[in-house]
Structure 1
Amino acid sequence: MPPILARVLAGRGIQRPDEVPLTLDQLPSPTLMPGLDKAVALLMEARRQGWKILIIGDYDADGATATALMVRGLTLLGLPTPGFLVPDRFEYGYGLSPEIIELASREASPDLIITVDNGIASLDGVAAAHAAGIKVLITDHHLPGDVLPDADAIVNPRLDPASPFLNLAGVGVAFYLILALRGALRDADLLPANANPASLLDLVALGTVADVVVLDRINRILVEQGLRRMRAGQCIPGIIELLKVGRRDPDRVVAQDLGFIVGPRLNAAGRLSDMTHGISCLLCDDPQRARELAEELDSINRERRGIEQGMRDEAMIQVQRLKEQGDLPLGLCLHDEHWHEGVVGILASRVKEAVHRPVIAFARAQEKGLLKGSGRSIQGLHLRDALDAVATRHPGMLRKFGGHAMAAGLTLAADQFEQFRQAFAETVALLAPADIFTSVIDTDGLLEETELTLKNAELLAHAFPWGQGFPAPRFDGEFEVLDQRVVGERHLKLTLGLPTSRGVIDAIHFNAPVADWPRNCRRVAGIYQLGVNDYRGQRSPQLLFEHLMPL
């Protein structure tokens, strides 16, 4: 193993050779997934009886990929192709609600509903389905409450705290159900020819990365195997075309491309429009039509970016005002009457990155008098638990809430915003250790000038899938500035000198504070990733600065 890669892996706790391979035979058996036996038996009965199946998904990239995977997977295994339905986030909100059951009954008349990436908290929705004579199979990865829905089967790794699958995304849970069903069909000698669930791994990789779940070894295997299929051309047209509209080469795709290029374009449909557009792109097998759908999603994403930028500027003005009034609250709540409900989640994420605090951003809900909030947290503060604590101390304040450690959503009455703002700040101060509010940036140390090569940049990009909990290699160093200029209004482009080798290397700092940057900067210090600049077919190493300061 090249020394630079061994050093990076050691910094992420990988010490032994047997921890390195990311092959499918290293995955734990589906038999270890809670609830699979009952779910598979239900699907086998559905196959025998010819039940009409409807998939109920979620309106984010994990929900979209899980929906597409379930539709493709069940069809692959010989069941009738299911329909799908995704709640309109503005009209119905999240999850399997009684209103969604009414809509599903009216439009699809299913015998069986399968949820993906939702359902674990849908007590009323499941009851409504049973009242309508519809069976329900829940697949979800969110934390269960004290009371579970009375579903016909529930597959959720979090039902067993000892499960090895606790970090799976919703699409990963759905994939394991398909794996288990394939095994049952094989044992019953009912498996269709060439029915290989590995063909679904491109969807698993995309949803896993886009949902920002921890890339433990199981998720790294799933993502790596999906990426290998994409690079080999064994990929659905929708993902290929989404990469292309984002100016990424499918033959060289890496996990960051899924997180920063494909995922946001899918999510934009759920934020501003209808996730049906995104799922249709993932289900399309015609490259030309997939291209058209990908271009539609790209257009929606451009609109989302414009809305987000305006909201971010307004939010940071609010943050500055709070700072002027005294110390910034440890838990931050922001609201503006004109903010877009579908964009407050990504806004909360951007503000959290800027202030290193748990942040909840609110927008006016469709229902008069209500606000919908979406929050993002920092390591050390479990956001859903914090909301649960607020709800316990202030009964009736939260109309509903849900989520997990790093992200959560809630609904409350608009006239209770100020009361909630104070309650949330107090709860965060009570629950969170004081040291989590000091931002610490870990790096992989210095790189010698001789290590700043295209070979090393390519190696680090493709050696492993990097992401949440398994961060991409980043290094720190000081450099001589030979040239600098602003590009795209917000980005700082640099040419840096390498005096020992008498060479130069390009660098860029995205979303830099260009208004405050000195014009005659001669030396900089920063934290960067060693990346590849592909310009008109010419590939060269490039430093991608995450943090940069003049010296």
Structure 2
Amino acid sequence: MPGATRSIRRRRPESAPALVAAGIHPLLARVYGSRGVLLPEELQLSFRELLAPQTLKGASQAAVLVADALAAGQRILIIGDFDADGATSTALGITALRAFGATDVHYLVPNRFQYGYGLTPEIVALASGLQPDLIITVDNGISSIDGVAAARALGINTLVTDHHLAGAQLPAADVIVNPNQPGCGFESKAIAGVGVIFYVMLALRAELRERGWFAARGLQEPALVECLDLVALGTVADVVPLDRNNRILVAAGLQRIRSGRARPGINALLAIAGRDAATVVASDLGFAVGPRLNAAGRLEDMSIGIECLLATEATATGYADRLQQLNLDRRVIEQDMQQEALTLLATLPLHEDINTTPAGITLYESGWHQGVIGILASRIKDRLHRPTIVFADAEPGGNELKGSARSIRGIHIRDVLDAVATRSPGLISRFGGHAMAAGLSLPRAHYEAFAEAFVAEVAHHGRDLDLEVVIESDGELCAPDFGLELATTLRFAGPWGQHFPEPVFDGRFRIVQQRLVGARHLKLVLMPPDSDELIDAIAFNVDTGAWPNPAQEWLEAAYRLDVNEYRGRRSLQLVIEQLQPVA
């Protein structure tokens, strides 16, 4: 089955003479310029440049609410989400509140298989057994109309902290802190849930300082920078756009990790993933730590991940080992589901022409694991470059389906679901999310009608979109650029991530050697056309029907410069994103 058509498009080069004058490598200045950074001060990622907490609507009121709860000795319960953003948000809230002197603070994460997402009435009923005076949601709650109402009916105060898009109606919480709620002027709309609760804790510390809280109790005022490793992990793992404010948060967190000041749980997860904490970059958090943390919420209970983040040196390795095993189990389940998904996709007109592929993809198979459908949706979306929703049974033999949606740039998936719900009332039971990812539930009997409505709505939203996969390149490199020094400079010049992508280059190379390593990875030795320098390269998950090809002498590639470390030796390696044989 073919994948989506892929092409390489060079970014428009932006001249950034001010960066070059400030001593930035000319190539890096070009890269920054094409991402909208033209002045040296825009590269200042000092913590002092962070947006002020006072500009985040509700943060000051939230600080008063929580400070009053602390003063009254009330029981505080944090309700988190079951992904990495939710786990880091929960761990940050617990850590900060304990550092502020809270002695009665607890957390609860809904089991996704029993209760689903967010502060539902069922979760409130479960939480009521702990007799909380104040519930704080982290990374959820903006759509919890009924859940907040249930808490208020029981006399429980509620503080909603979230970053997901708000619907037409807001929950009647005591305070809402969400940059995406109406009337919030906070400039960073892309901040993750962990960033929101971090800001709330900054505001709370200021409120407690104003009240003389720390002095009266002989407490040293906590340094919240100690939580920035959590903020960096949650922000990167949630794949939110790295605007300048998020880059400041991530850069500060990475610096703490590299300097050996990360919490034991994060160090243990890096170690078990084979990553060196001293040289960690954002992609290590996104591709090594995040998936292991997420595995707990996908297969069992995210409290395992949260406890890992709260662990001491003595206990962190045990939790990391458990998360490692869950991640291995997740991979096996995912591989089986992918094979079943490919069988289903074979029923679509994909084997003849990718351009006949429907504008949107929906897949459902009884027996699929609902904790893994989000990953499967992402894999199919990447393969076909179409918004994709994968469904699983909410419970075995039940009548409700749960879906996980992933989208492509230019198609706002939550807006698509909102449009479907508006045009066909009652088709969807509930939904929520943001531009690139969303979740939903619907009756099994509505699946076929929903699939048809979804494809039609995606086609409407994306009628002017080119559904070809475009790899954006920062241009060609000259022979002197292929060196370890420049690769190292680029590696640490980020943090790179969503909407601030790592540099990708393109060019033509002579193939000197080629062989498969592992099952589907192509190891290459290449030579630029204007040089006799040999360069190592690797392309992951190639089409083994096409590669290796001993008859092929030249290839065109889109690639990243990378630093390969093996047995203490560091060398340049190209990581190939796209390769095409050429004559």
SS at match of 2:71: helix
SS at match of 1:114: strand
Amino acid at match of 1:176: Y
Residue aligning to 1:478 = 508
Residue aligning to 2:9 = none
**Cα distance in 1 for residues equivalent to 2:549 and 2:499:** 37
Residue aligning to 2:12 = none
Amino acid at match of 1:293: Y
**Cα distance in 2 for residues equivalent to 1:323 and 1:273:** 37
Amino acid at match of 1:306: V
Question: TM-score, with normalisation over the residues of structure 1?
Answer: 0.97
Q: Is the 8 A contact 1:380 1:433 kept in 2?
A: no
Displacement of 1:436 after TM fit?
3.9
Q: Is the 8 A contact 1:450 1:501 kept in 2?
A: no
**Cα distance in 2 for residues equivalent to 1:480 and 1:274:** 50
SS at match of 1:233: coil
Identify which of 224, 247, 256 aligns with 1:197.
224
Amino acid at match of 2:330: R
Q: Is the 8 A contact 2:86 2:193 kept in 1?
A: yes
Displacement of 1:37 after TM fit?
1.9
**Cα distance in 2 for residues equivalent to 1:498 and 1:516:** 22
Amino acid at match of 1:334: L
**Cα distance in 1 for residues equivalent to 2:448 and 2:83:** 29
1:419 aligns with 2:446: no
**Cα distance in 2 for residues equivalent to 1:234 and 1:117:** 25
**Cα distance in 2 for residues equivalent to 1:58 and 1:469:** 24
1:16-54 deviation per Cα after TM superposition (whole angstroms, max 9, x unaligned):
111011001111110000111211110111111000111
The within-5 A match list for 1:271-350 is 271-285=298-312, 287-324=313-350, 327-350=356-379
Displacement of 1:498 after TM fit?
4.0
**Cα distance in 2 for residues equivalent to 1:512 and 1:38:** 53
Identify which of 497, 513, 530 aligns with 2:561.
530
Amino acid at match of 1:442: E
Displacement of 1:288 after TM fit?
3.4
**Cα distance in 2 for residues equivalent to 1:324 and 1:505:** 37
Q: Is the 8 A contact 2:60 2:204 kept in 1?
A: no
Structure 2 gaps, min length 5: 1-23
Residue aligning to 1:233 = 260
Displacement of 1:81 after TM fit?
5.2
Name whichever of 222-231 and 162-171 sits farther off: 162-171
1:71 aligns with 2:94: yes
Q: Is the 8 A contact 1:379 1:436 kept in 2?
A: no
SS at match of 2:338: helix
**Cα distance in 1 for residues equivalent to 2:524 and 2:139:** 43
Identify which of 214, 224, 236 aligns with 1:209.
236
Displacement of 1:481 after TM fit?
1.2
Displacement of 1:163 after TM fit?
2.3
Name whichever of 168-177 and 514-523 sits farther off: 514-523
Name whichever of 472-481 and 513-522 sits farther off: 513-522
Q: Is the 8 A contact 1:361 1:375 kept in 2?
A: yes
SS at match of 1:119: coil
From the superposition, tell whether residues 324 and 262 of structure 1 become closer, same or farther in structure 2 (CA, over 3 Å): closer
Residue aligning to 2:10 = none
**Cα distance in 2 for residues equivalent to 1:517 and 1:251:** 36
The within-5 A match list for 1:113-512 is 113-159=135-181, 160=183, 162-191=185-214, 192-285=219-312, 287-324=313-350, 327-366=356-395, 368-498=398-528, 500-512=530-542
Displacement of 1:152 after TM fit?
1.1
**Cα distance in 2 for residues equivalent to 1:310 and 1:528:** 30
Amino acid at match of 1:198: V
Amino acid at match of 1:4: L
1:165-194 deviation per Cα after TM superposition (whole angstroms, max 9, x unaligned):
311000000000001111112222223314
Name whichever of 424-433 and 25-34 sits farther off: 424-433
From the superposition, tell whether residues 416 and 525 of structure 1 become closer, same or farther in structure 2 (CA, over 3 Å): same
SS at match of 2:395: coil
Name whichever of 294-303 and 202-211 sits farther off: 294-303
1:471-492 deviation per Cα after TM superposition (whole angstroms, max 9, x unaligned):
0011001111111111110211
SS at match of 2:492: helix
Amino acid at match of 2:167: G
Name whichever of 4-13 and 166-175 sits farther off: 4-13
SS at match of 2:209: helix
Displacement of 1:446 after TM fit?
0.7
Displacement of 1:371 after TM fit?
1.1
Q: Is the 8 A contact 2:513 2:524 kept in 1?
A: yes
SS at match of 2:439: strand
**Cα distance in 1 for residues equivalent to 2:115 and 2:206:** 36
From the superposition, tell whether residues 499 and 382 of structure 1 become closer, same or farther in structure 2 (CA, over 3 Å): closer
Amino acid at match of 1:150: A
Displacement of 1:297 after TM fit?
0.5
Name whichever of 194-203 and 184-193 sits farther off: 184-193
1:348-379 deviation per Cα after TM superposition (whole angstroms, max 9, x unaligned):
11111111110101111116011111000111
SS at match of 1:455: helix
Displacement of 1:320 after TM fit?
3.4
Amino acid at match of 2:316: A
1:434-476 deviation per Cα after TM superposition (whole angstroms, max 9, x unaligned):
2242322211101112111111111111111000000001100
**Cα distance in 1 for residues equivalent to 2:102 and 2:235:** 25
Amino acid at match of 1:248: R
1:542 aligns with 2:573: yes
Amino acid at match of 1:243: L
Q: Is the 8 A contact 1:380 1:436 kept in 2?
A: no
Amino acid at match of 1:63: G
Amino acid at match of 1:138: V
Name whichever of 314-323 and 464-473 sits farther off: 314-323
**Cα distance in 2 for residues equivalent to 1:278 and 1:324:** 39
Residue aligning to 1:28 = 51
Q: Is the 8 A contact 1:96 1:122 kept in 2?
A: yes
**Cα distance in 2 for residues equivalent to 1:311 and 1:161:** 41
Amino acid at match of 1:318: L
Residue aligning to 2:73 = 50
From the superposition, tell whether residues 429 and 448 of structure 1 become closer, same or farther in structure 2 (CA, over 3 Å): same
**Cα distance in 2 for residues equivalent to 1:303 and 1:537:** 31
SS at match of 2:346: helix
1:101 aligns with 2:131: no
Name whichever of 250-259 and 361-370 sits farther off: 361-370
Amino acid at match of 1:255: A
Displacement of 1:239 after TM fit?
0.5
From the superposition, tell whether residues 392 and 230 of structure 1 become closer, same or farther in structure 2 (CA, over 3 Å): same
**Cα distance in 2 for residues equivalent to 1:81 and 1:532:** 47
Displacement of 1:77 after TM fit?
1.8
**Cα distance in 2 for residues equivalent to 1:310 and 1:529:** 31
Count of aligned pairs: 549
**Cα distance in 2 for residues equivalent to 1:177 and 1:165:** 15
Displacement of 1:500 after TM fit?
4.1
**Cα distance in 2 for residues equivalent to 1:311 and 1:527:** 30
